[in-house]
Amino acid sequence: MTASSGERRVRSGAGGSPALPLDMGALGAAERLCGLLLAGGDEGEVAAALNDEVQGLQLSWDPESRDLPTTAMRAAQAYWQSLPRSGGLPEVLQVEPERLRAALGYIMLVDVGEETGDFRYALYGSKIAAVSGFDLTGRSIWDIPTLSAVQVFFAGCYLAVGRARRPLYSVHEAPPSITVSAWHRLILPLGRAGEVRRFLVCNQPLKSLHPH
């Protein structure tokens, strides 16, 4: 894709991956979705904002442990809750794998870039990669080989969590090429100097949208 007046370049991330030509229309859509999420928009409103291209949406801010469907997600949440805080935000960017053993393979670390909408995978869990068929470590969320609406959904969620400084749990249907029914995602913000700079994400594929 050739950069034009409707696009801008996002700086390259870790690992020297090339700069990404970010479609300003996609970023604008992600910003609008972020605003909708922060305003308390429900699943129907969010789906409509994504032209109903992302199916089976479920969204929950600040989920209780009992509302999370797997041991891995509950372990990630418990670890995040145990971290030291400054201004209500965990001031830790490096995670301790030995304390996340129950969630290993389903953990992603997503870095916040200097440009709005620049979210890059510092770590892309091995079990996630095995199911999806690709490993995006060092790459941007805009590099995910999927529908643009799904990319916008991810970007909007990360923008919203970064600004709200609160955890967000989401569910959406997997594409037909994936052998599971749904992706369950828990986004947990991590900070430095009071600003969200990284997300600890537990992303787990399950065979049901409603595993309970």
pLDDT in tens, 14-47: 333 333 345 668 899 999 999 999 999 999 999 9
Residue at 131: amino acid letter: V
Determine the pLDDT at residue 208: 63
**Into how many domains does the chain fold?**
1
Q: Let me know if residue 172 belongs to a domain.
A: yes
Indicate if the pLDDT at residue 200 is higher than 80: yes
Beta-strand relationship, 20-23 and 195-206: unpaired
Helix (H) or strand (E) holding 202: strand 195-206
SS3 of 58, please? strand
pLDDT at 8 over 50: no
Can you tell me whether residue 9 is helix, strand or coil?
strand
pLDDT in tens, 130-175: 988 899 999 999 998 888 899 999 999 999 999 999 999 999 998 7
185 - beta bridge partners? Answer: 170, 203
Backbone torsions φ then ψ of 31, nearest 5 degrees: -65, -40
Which residue range is the domain that position 156 belongs to? 7-206
Provide the whole-model pTM. Answer: 0.86
Evaluate whether residue 2 is within a structural domain.
Answer: no
In a domain, 21, yes or no: yes
Give the residue from 210, 209, 200 showing the smallest Cα distance to 72: 200
Q: Is the pLDDT of residue 93 over 90?
A: no
92 in a structural domain: yes
pLDDT, mean over the chain: 86
Q: Report pLDDT for 116.
A: 86
- Does residue 211 form part of some domain? no
Give the three-state DSSP class for 175. Answer: coil
Element (H, E) at 21: strand 20-23
Would you state the structure tokens that stand for residue 22, as one six-digit string?
């970010």
